[in-house]
Amino acid sequence: MTNWRAVGIGFVVLFVAGALATALPVIGHIGAGLIGGFAAGYVAGGGLTSGAWHGLLAGAIGGIAVATVFALVVGVLGVAVGGPFGGAVGFGGILLVGGGIALLLAIDSAIAGAVGALIAD
């Protein structure tokens, strides 16, 4: 059974850390995924699989949310600078890269969630 409270806590931690991670694009997002997944797994408890599942959900949802917010910002800025084509290219490019970041956040969040659940038990 999914503990949505644990996923929500992991998502909030991951979203805030992911937003702050823009200064270090790859390393910062890996750290954000680890922190958010650990928080979700720790709150959920229940062993390796439960922690990994909750960390994975928090990482995937958080990664998609961070990517969408940044894609919208870049799309709006692209329209202001390059017109409709610039906005579409900026939005699509960031969304594509953001999808990779979301996958990265989901994988390391699952690992950190398993560790968090082990520590909680």
User: For the segment 24-83, what is each residue's pLDDT rounded down to a tens digit?
Assistant: 776 787 888 899 999 999 999 989 999 999 999 999 998 888 888 888 888 888 888 888
Q: How distant is the alpha carbon of residue 48 from its chain centre?
A: 20
Q: What residue spans define the domains of the chain?
A: 4-120
Q: Which of 109, 26, 93, 95 is nearest to 66 (CA)?
A: 95
pTM of the full predicted structure? 0.82
Listed residue (36, 57, 37) closest to 111, CA to CA: 37
Query: Euclidean distance between the first and final Cα of the chain, in Å?
Result: 17
pLDDT of residue 32: 85
